[in-house]
A and B are shown apart, each in its own frame.
Chain A
Amino acid sequence: MRWAAFSPRVIAAVVVSALLAPAAAAQLAAPRAVHASSAAAVAVPPIATFAPGRYAVGSADWDFGTIDITKPGSATETITVQHFGTLRYPAQAVGTGRGPVPKAPVAAGGPFPFVVFSHGRFQEDPYIGHNHEQASYLLDHLASWGFVVASVNLDVVGQYGQPAAIKQRGEIVLATIAAFEQLDPSLYDIDFEHIGLVGHSRGGEGCLAAWKGNTAGYPIRAIATISLTNFQNMSVTGVPYLGLYGSKDGDVNNGWPIQVYDQAEPAPKLFEYIEGANHFWFTDSIHYGGEGAATITREQHHDCARTYITAFLLHALRDAPLPYAELCDGPTLTPVTGPIKIHPLYADPQRLLVNSFEEPGSDPGSNSLGGASVGEALVTQDEENLDNIAKTFYQRTHGGWIAFDSSGGLPEGVAAPVYVEELPGGVDASPYTHLSLNALQRWNAPLNTANQAQDLHVMLVDGSGHSAQVALSDWGTIAWPITHGGAFPKKSVLRTTRIPLREFGQVNPAIDMSDLRLVSLVFDQTPSAELRIDDLGFTR
């Protein structure tokens, strides 16, 4: 078969004919093995961060006196605030000290990376002002895995409702790094070449502000946030990023964490949309009745934060042999992803995007590689901005709009609706391990069936016309959107599904991964759907 200058119609015809071939029909008819994860693709042993690590945890409250920070709402004035917090560190024995001096000596095995934790805002009367003590579950866990973690008090700017004092939180975070750098190095054996920032809510956005305001050049190598705000519309660039967000968040319920993920540069970036989690149960004990109840327990919130953030920081700060992709769909997550549904997004910086749908001037007929994007028997093939609340989209990205309806039959000679991406000149996918696709179904769209996941086959075709297809549902899902009460109750959120390329090779050993010509989505699993797709490509 020769591939020079095929027309889009011919491309679609190739896929359609492949679908009608006996081998393809046999594939469709064969029972599918459902894979729990891509475990076999992971070449290194995973680290199970669900359980505590091997270190005893020492703790100490610290107070460095006062610092001057920018006055909220002012470009030139400063205010003076107390600079204090609490610390957890790997210790030889459990012990609590006062001041910056530990009671229990630091453990052997250092130096230990430094993490600053920034808490969220909860200004309920009486104003005790100790919200930095509301993440001990996470601080303890991180310390047990070999991190020195300073939780800094940000209630000193908590009175500012508007502006939100985000920049000031960043300044206090940076001041915390500076203060600990001045301590006797033998106290905690801190590795200041590996610094991570973790924050919740306004404190999460404070981490972004610290990153943006890091003129001192501290080697901040990772940022992890939980349900962060986005008052200042910042973007994370040049640093690995992990975001957690609960579908029942009744405080930051406007989708901001989704947008921060979309705006982040993939260095890489990860996002975990946690079904049933709310906002304040990511704290030790704060309960805010105004946000409504979560449908998972507070302990399960803690399990999510502990497992994901620890694994992320182990990779970013301690060079653990753990692929970031493990946090998308890896087996290590099973203790969490077994009882809790988590919908991940993942972007690998070395990925090859076949179609990002981001090219200026919407052109649904071409992809990011310059090839044709062709639909057959589709109701809609278009592109659109997924920042559109009216459609229940909260993203900051563009996506492909694909709709089909085969319930009334298909044109003669068409086995199923298809969407085909041409790979001009052929793509060598052998450096990659997975095909990746982000997808969602629009809430309440007439073509989607309520409370049912959508599914499709992904088909690859090589330069010799060999094809193989794998069901998306073997490796992920396009779930019915999660909803909850209150403001912004309906959210259709993209989810990454990664299909190992070896699966295609198992289906058809003749397929040549070094010369792929077509990637097709075959809509043969449900009678109709209205989907958005994004970032179709090859990844690791």
Chain B
Amino acid sequence: MRLRRPASLLLVLALAGAGVAVVAVTASALGRGGLGAAADGPRIARVSVRAVERPFVDEDALAGAAAPAPAPQLLDREVTLDGSGFFGTSFGPFVRFVAPDGTSHDAVMVVIESGGRIVAWPPAGLRGTLQVVVENPDGQRASTTVGL
């Protein structure tokens, strides 16, 4: 069994429209906080999406030294989240995409360019209007809608 540090349960938020630009920003107060600039939790001010063709190999899916290399994927959407209060420790920040039926899809790749910008790549083929949720390692989170 792999033991990735689990994120907190998602808040399933009502969807409000579609589109690329941000239409809603929600920050949860469930986390413990206490980290300097990030103590107030993450904020998403803007989200943008662009189509890409990015080969991807999940290095962390290796199950020990004897396992075969995982099959490459071709990621097709790149989601940029601008805001504030993003940070990472050994884990995170976590990014998830939640479908209207509540199904959650972890981003397969997350890069934190600064405390104000995260770039995330959802699983290939994921489409529609979804909630994108950013969760810091301390459990504080923000979400908004995104059209993929």
Q: Which residues of A contact B (CB under 8 A)?
A: 72-76, 120-127, 158-164, 166-167, 201-202, 212, 229-235, 251-256, 259, 279-280, 288-292, 387, 389, 394, 487
Partner of A125, one of B63, B87, B89, B137: B87
Q: Are A75 and B55 touching (Cβ within 8 A)?
A: yes
Q: Are B93 and A124 touching (Cβ within 8 A)?
A: no
Give Cα distance in the complex from A232 to B32, angstroms: 28
Partner of B115, one of A125, A162, A166, A288: A125
Residue of B nearest to A227 (CB): B90
User: 4 closest A-B pairs (Cβ-Cβ)?
Assistant: A289-B34, A125-B115, A290-B138, A161-B110
Q: Are A73 and B65 touching (Cβ within 8 A)?
A: no
Q: Are B32 and A289 touching (Cβ within 8 A)?
A: yes
One digit per residue, 1 when the CB lies within 8 angstroms of any chain A CB and 0 when it does not, for chain B 81-95 equals 000111111111110
Which residues of chain A are near B138, meaning CB under 8 Å? 288-290
Which residues of chain B are near A125, meaning CB under 8 Å? 37-38, 84-87, 114-116
Q: How far is the CB of B93 from chain A (nearest CB, A)?
A: 6
Q: Classify the interface of chain A: helix, strand, loop or mixed.
A: loop
Give Cα distance in the complex from A35 to B148, angstroms: 66
Q: How far is the CB of A425 from chain B (nearest CB, A)?
A: 35
Give Cα distance in the complex from A346 to B56, angstroms: 40
Q: Classify the interface of chain B: helix, strand, loop or mixed.
A: loop
Give Cα distance in the complex from A160 to B109, angstroms: 8
Q: Are A232 and B35 touching (Cβ within 8 A)?
A: no
Which residues of chain A are near B62, meaning CB under 8 Å? 232-233
Interface residues on B, range: 35 or more
Q: Are B3 and A73 touching (Cβ within 8 A)?
A: no
Check if B68 is an interface residue, CB within 8 A of chain A.
no
Residue of B nearest to A202 (CB): B90
Q: Which of A76, A229, A231, A279 has the most CB of B within 10 A?
A: A231
Q: How far is the CB of A261 from chain B (nearest CB, A)?
A: 14
Q: Are A231 and B139 touching (Cβ within 8 A)?
A: no
Q: What are 19 contact pairs spanning A and B, CB under 8 A?
A: A74-B56, A75-B69, A75-B72, A120-B90, A121-B88, A121-B90, A123-B112, A124-B38, A159-B112, A161-B91, A161-B93, A161-B94, A163-B60, A202-B90, A212-B65, A234-B65, A251-B90, A289-B138, A394-B3
Contact residues, B59-114 vs A (CB, 8 A):
59-60, 62-65, 69, 72, 84-94, 107-114
Which residues of chain A are near B92, meaning CB under 8 Å? 161
Q: Are A73 and B5 touching (Cβ within 8 A)?
A: no
Give Cα distance in the complex from A290 to B86, angstroms: 13
Partner of A162, one of B6, B60, B65, B86: B60
Q: How far is the CB of B144 from chain A (nearest CB, A)?
A: 19
Q: Are B88 and A232 touching (Cβ within 8 A)?
A: no
Q: Are B90 and A252 touching (Cβ within 8 A)?
A: yes
